[in-house]
Structures are given as structure tokens and as C-alpha cells.
Amino acid sequence: MEISVSNSSPKSGKTSFLRSNGLIVSLALISVVLSSLPIVHYVLLPFEFFTTFIHEGSHAIASLLMGESVDKIVINPDTSGYMQHTVSSGVFAQGFISSAGYIGAAIVGGILIVLSSYKNTSKFLLLALGILFLVAIVLYVRDAFTFVISAGFSVALFLLATKGSDNLCYFGLNFLAVQCALNSLTDVMTLVKLSLGAKASAWSVGHSDAEAVAQMFWLPAIVWSVLWVLISLIILWYAIKTSSRIRARGLPQKEL
């Protein structure tokens, strides 16, 4: 008679989660350490520009969805940015557009975390990102600094996708996913500080997204800032859980 034994120890779920997300967790820890070191943290600066572009691009997509036209996307040297568009729709549409930046960055970070789980699609995804940057440059980039940053990313993504090995592309996509996810959180936490009275960047133009929404929907900016933090955390946690299930399928199974 055969007896099958299943290990239902509470530790098994935790171990499986850590094993399947080993690369993501390792890259996140490395990123946190690098960002805390003087001078060395500048290594991660390009990825902050990447997240800024995603943030402003999310505003642009929301504007187009609301039937408005987008004039330009601008990235500032301090990693802040803004999107200029027509204002022709109602208050709810404007609230949606203003909310799209931080939430959109978290969504893209989450999508990249999930898609980076598939090793055989890394090259295609990097190439697709490069094409998206190229399209955005043609349509919405009007200043030299934003052009240099965007073109740099487009070229780097194209080169990595076409010249890099499968393993390098896989690692690169995972690193980009982690950076976008972490930066989406740090950016919205910075917004919380601004909503509490912290000094805005000298490059800032107009109100913050939270202040813009607060003027339309009465609740103070700090409420919207904290709400976006919570939504971003939920999005990224769900993405990590989904990624864990996908990555676990590729792990060798232990026999008992």
C-alpha cells in the first residue's frame, strides 16, 4: 500500500515564496543598499528618470482616454516632470488624469514584475519598451533634456534586446521592474511629505497631483496622497504574489 505524505508546515509557503521571488527580493535589497550609499546612489538615477517618464506617460494616456490632446512630456534634471495637455473635459475627468501618474507608475511596475517572470519573453518586452520610448519621443518630447534621457533609454533597450544574451535580458528586465516598482513607492511617499508641508522642488510647476485633486474633490491633499500609497502597495503586492506563482512553476520540485 502506498502512502502519500504532504508537507503542510506553515513554513513551506513562506519558503516557497522566498525561493520563487529570490531574484526580485535580491535585486530589491541591492537597490535599497545602493540608494543609501553616498555618490554610489547616482548609479540608479537613470531608473528614476525612467519612472518619471512612466508617471508622466500615464498622465498622457489618461488625457487621451478622456478625449483631450497631449502637448508635451517633460522630464526635469531633478527627476521631477510634468505633462502639458488641453483642459476640455469635466471635473471627474481631470481628477482621473491627475490621479493617473502615481497609480500608473505602480501599475506599470507591477506589470513589469509579472511579465519579467517569463524568461523567454524578456527580449520581446525590452524591444517593445524601446519602441514605446521611440514613439513617445516623436509625439510628445519637445525639449533637449527629455530627448536625451528618452533617446538614451530607447537605444539602451534596443541594444539589450538585440545584442544581449537571454540571461542578460532576463536579469535586465527584472532589474528594471524592481526599479520601477520601488521608485513608484518612493515617489508617492515624497508626495505625502509635500502634502504635509515639505518644500517642493525648484523645478516644480503648478500644484502637485494631490493638491490638484484636492481642489476638485474637497478632501485635503494628504488624504489623496495616502490613498495613492495604499493603492500602490496593493497593486505591487498583488503583482509580487502573481509573479511568485509563475516563477514557482520553473523551480525544481522537492521529493519527499
In a domain, 46, yes or no: yes
164's grid cell: 544581449
Q: Give residue 39's pLDDT band: very low, low, confident or very high (50, 70, 90).
A: confident
216's grid cell: 476638485
Q: Could you tell me the residue range of the domain that residue 225 belongs to?
A: 25-248
In a domain, 199, yes or no: yes
What is the average per-residue pLDDT within 130-143? 94
In a domain, 4, yes or no: no
Number of folded domains that form the chain: 1
Supply the pLDDT for residue 152: 95
Q: Give residue 8's pLDDT band: very low, low, confident or very high (50, 70, 90).
A: very low
Please identify which residue in the block is written with the cell numbers 511579465: 115
Would you say residue 125 has pLDDT above 90? yes
What is the average per-residue pLDDT within 56-82? 93
Supply the pLDDT for residue 86: 87
For residue range 182-223, list pLDDT tens digits in order.
Answer: 999 999 999 999 888 888 777 776 678 999 899 899 899 999
What is the residue-averaged pLDDT of the chain? 87
Would you say residue 179 has pLDDT above 50? yes
In a domain, 10, yes or no: no
In a domain, 256, yes or no: no
The reported pTM is 0.88
Supply the pLDDT for residue 252: 53
Supply the pLDDT for residue 16: 66
In a domain, 137, yes or no: yes
Q: Give residue 41's pLDDT band: very low, low, confident or very high (50, 70, 90).
A: confident
DSSP per residue over the chain, as a string?
---------HHHHHHHHHHHTHHHHHHHHHHHHHHHSTTGGGGGHHHHHHHHHHHHHHHHHHHHHTT--EEEEEE-TTS-EEEEE---S-HHHHHHHHHHHHHHHHHHHHHHHHHTT-GGGHHHHHHHHHHHHHHHHHHH--SHHHHHHHHHHHHHHHHHHHHS-HHHHHHHHHHHHHHHHHHHHHHHHHHHHHHTTPPPPTT--S--HHHHHHHHHSS-HHHHHHHHHHHHHHHHHHHHHHHHHHHHTTSPPPP-
For residue range 216-255, list pLDDT tens digits in order.
Answer: 998 999 999 999 999 999 999 999 999 988 888 865 555 4
In a domain, 6, yes or no: no
In a domain, 253, yes or no: no
- Reference 249, options 119, 126, 123; nearest CA is 119
